[in-house]
Structure 1
Amino acid sequence: MADNLFSRGRRRPLVLDGGLATELETAHAKDLSGSLWSARILLDDPDSILAVHRAYLAAGAQIITTATYQASVAGFHRELALTPSEAAALMHSSLRLAEDAITAHVAADAATTQRVEEEEEEEAFPPAIAVSLGCFGATLADGSEYTGVYPPYADEDYLCEFHVARALAVLNGDSGGRGTPPPPTMTTTTTTPPNSMQNPLLLLHLLLFETIPSLLEARAIARALAHPALSVYPAGVAFSCGTATTVRCGATLRECIDALLLLRRPSADDDDDASSASSSAAAAAPPPPPPRAPLAMVGVNCTQPHLCASLVRIAAAAVAEAAAASSAVSAKSHSSGGKKPPTTLVVCYPNSGEVYNPVTKTWSGPGGGNGEAGPDAWWAGWCKEWLAAGADVIGGCCRTRPRHIEAIARLKKNAMKEKGLLHVQP
């Protein structure tokens, strides 16, 4: 795969954008009360999505997310009576909007193109696109994305099929001719990520599975990412957490990340003195998916800011342990050719601090970053905590705005002036 923003060491943090849907509500007065949330604006007013993308790029975002968090073929059919083909084409149009925003941003002022300078000069990369893929519960618009309690039919197999089908609809504009997920036959032979617009600025898209609330869905995503058509893309997964250690369903964040990183996969080299109980549990567990390239990033989103330092530390520890295990396996098999395994980055993009009521679809309580004093000191203070805990990628989720992202970019710029105090090793 071509070199890209995620494939080499960078000055920390990489800057992700902020809330897209809530910015559409705040800055563009959009009514997002329907089940499609911001995805409906792809049809109603795509120019406003383009404007939000450009606002975040101007604020310093290096990664922008598509307006597809709550999009699904079934959802567009249910709410707008679109055919599967029409729905998939509309979802795919989100990529053009993001690409157009980046192209316009780069053309308008080359000086604003993100350049992450190392101690030695290196190639600069334009901003990247993250394909926003919300959890299954988000498409139900019933608040289950904040509990992880899904209908009985939404088992691991169903969720795997859902995530494969929805990702392919966004990437390729192809619904498979149906409104329900195709079976996971995994026979696709795609070997290189398609570039939908053939834009030389854009070498790849990151698949970003967001607001994941459960261990069940983490396992389903791990399987989905083994699909040949998806495994060629860099991917990130962010979990929504209700406490400083657990995701919304009550499982620990560490369990969920381990499921993604295949850290707990049993092997022939397991210690001979492992307990019979552990052996029985491993034998009873579902088989893990085939190995794939390491995740580009893993971490937390749509979570209260005060919980994130603890959660980032958990994610960073899991990533470090997985990297050590990968290095050990490579050394044992001599399969690495002397190259260091790719690093999984830790991502953190919480909400503003306000509390969301999924029943009334309203926000309440103080959001320190939205006060009249502005977000700079408040948000930058949190960012420093997350960086110290091990975050490599920082942005914002619900109710964060371009000014929050500008505060992150300013923090990074100031740190770089201080001889690169914030640095992620290659």
Structure 2
Amino acid sequence: MRTALETFVNNISNPIDKFIYVLDGGQGTYLENSGINVNSQIWCSIPFTQPSFWNENEKSIERKIMEQMFKDFLSSGCSLVMTPTYQLNYTSYLKELKIGESESALKQYDSLLTDIGSFTKKQTESHANVLVIGSIGCYGSMILAEFTGNYGDNAAEIDYYKHYKPQLDNFLNSENIDILGFETVPNIHELRFLLSLDSSVLNKPFFIGLSTNEVQQLRDGTPLEEVAKLINDLKAENKLNENFKLIGCNCCSFVSSSKSIKVLNENLNFYIPLIAYPNSGEIYDTVTKEWHKPKNELLYAGNSNNWKMTVDKYTENNCKVIGGCCRTTPEDIKSIHEAINQK
């Protein structure tokens, strides 16, 4: 009998299979809307650093909110949930806690990741066949460059493995993490690094979400046609990790995301399923630090008709996983789920 993970891999790997998986949505948005301040180095992971969070007998407000967040997303129809660890890389963790790098600090960090993985898995217990994705933020998430891709002139020489290794060491050995998600990758050099990791390093199913702009490029200006060529060439050379299961885009414009997915699909010369989970289409004002809905309703994800049109575009281009990112809510996930099941 297949496990839920084996079924997932089998379903997405079959181009004829029409089953679409639904991913959860904007965890940070949910927590902010519920009164939790996530404005920190480690963003959604901040509640987990409070000792009171782990007291199950006298649950803190933060724990109750986090549990309700998972409950709401799961009841909206998602079958994949993320750990709230996108910005919980080791460097940002040290900065947030204002501690120096040491063996004891690394053990403390590793223990925190283990606890978060266990907590996330526990939230899925009442929902059959739900898988947990270990969320791993790109190098740019550490230096606030995931939306520019500007890693400097030495981007090709950066030690990306140093950034990823502490989180990878935990997630790859965790029974609570089913799939690895490398999110919001904006730079071609970092993408090359991730694609260079073979199964001796990455021995679990994983996907890569790209940070893309309005003209179907990585944020560093690399055309998505070039991204597809890189993947095609590695495939032809038999150098693609067998655990590399999906490629796509996340945390990008609600409207442009379907165009980016289309470019990837049209330029990949072999079948690999795609993944898309865009932002809501709201615009962030960097001066007032507020989000605003676009004046044109067609640019906003917050109604079921817009989601239906976008889900159709995704599925026409081999998307097998669809969800939401910043500013998307359980209602958005419900709209995605309904759009998929109307097909």
User: What TM-score does the superposition give when structure 2 sets the normalisation length?
Assistant: 0.83
User: 135, 139, 142: which is aligned to 2:142?
Assistant: 139
Structure 1's 88 and 17: CA in aligned 2 closer, same or farther, altered over 3 A? same
**Aligned partner letter, 1:394:** I
Task: Name the counterpart of 1:43.
Answer: 49
**Aligned partner letter, 2:31:** L
Task: Name the counterpart of 1:76.
Answer: 93
User: 240, 243, 257: which is aligned to 1:308?
Assistant: 257
Task: Name the counterpart of 2:244.
Answer: 295
Segments of 5+ residues of structure 2 without an aligned counterpart are: 51-61, 100-104
User: 189, 208, 228: which is aligned to 2:200?
Assistant: 228
Q: Map 1:1-400; keep pairs closer than 5 Å.
A: 3-8=6-11, 9=14, 10-26=17-33, 28-44=34-50, 45-81=62-98, 83-103=105-125, 105-106=126-127, 113=128, 126-140=129-143, 142=144, 144-151=145-152, 155-156=156-157, 158-172=159-173, 194-196=174-176, 205-223=178-196, 225-226=197-198, 228-230=200-202, 232-259=203-230, 261=231, 263-265=232-234, 290-293=239-242, 295-319=244-268, 321-323=269-271, 344-356=272-284, 362-366=290-294, 368=297, 375-400=303-328
Structure 1's 266 and 14: CA in aligned 2 closer, same or farther, altered over 3 A? closer
SS in 2 for 1:88: helix
- Does the 8 Å CA contact 1:302/1:398 hold for their aligned counterparts? yes
- How far off its partner does 1:266 sit? 9.9
Residues 7-51 of structure 1: per-residue CA shift (max 9 Å, x gap): 22443421111111111111x211111121112122233443332
Residues 167-210 of structure 1: per-residue CA shift (max 9 Å, x gap): 223444xxxxxxxxxxxxxxxxxxxxx525xxxxxxx6111111
Structure 1's 247 and 153: CA in aligned 2 closer, same or farther, altered over 3 A? closer
- Does the 8 Å CA contact 2:29/2:326 hold for their aligned counterparts? yes
**Aligned partner letter, 2:186:** P
- How far off its partner does 1:291 sit? 4.0
SS in 1 for 2:84: coil
Residues 141-162 of structure 1: per-residue CA shift (max 9 Å, x gap): x3x1111112566545501332
Segments of 5+ residues of structure 1 without an aligned counterpart are: 107-112, 114-125, 173-193, 197-203, 268-287, 324-343, 416-426
Task: Name the counterpart of 2:54.
Answer: none
- CA RMSD in angstroms comes to 2.8
- Does the 8 Å CA contact 1:310/1:389 hold for their aligned counterparts? no
1: distance between equivalents of 2:182 and 2:235?
A: 26
- How far off its partner does 1:388 sit? 2.5
- How far off its partner does 1:289 sit? 9.6
- How far off its partner does 1:239 sit? 0.7
Task: Name the counterpart of 1:418.
Answer: none
- Does the 8 Å CA contact 1:67/1:132 hold for their aligned counterparts? yes
Task: Name the counterpart of 1:410.
Answer: 338
Q: How many pairs does the alignment contain?
A: 319
2: distance between equivalents of 1:361 and 1:226?
A: 41
**Aligned partner letter, 2:319:** A
- How far off its partner does 1:245 sit? 1.8
- How far off its partner does 1:296 sit? 1.2
SS in 1 for 2:248: strand
- Does the 8 Å CA contact 1:237/1:297 hold for their aligned counterparts? yes
2: distance between equivalents of 1:37 and 1:382?
A: 28
- Does the 8 Å CA contact 2:42/2:92 hold for their aligned counterparts? yes
**Aligned partner letter, 1:322:** F
Task: Name the counterpart of 2:55.
Answer: none
User: What TM-score does the superposition give when structure 1 sets the normalisation length?
Assistant: 0.68
2: distance between equivalents of 1:380 and 1:195?
A: 35
- Does the 8 Å CA contact 1:156/1:217 hold for their aligned counterparts? no
Moved over 6 A (4+): none
SS in 2 for 1:210: strand
Structure 1's 47 and 229: CA in aligned 2 closer, same or farther, altered over 3 A? farther
1: distance between equivalents of 2:32 and 2:265?
A: 34
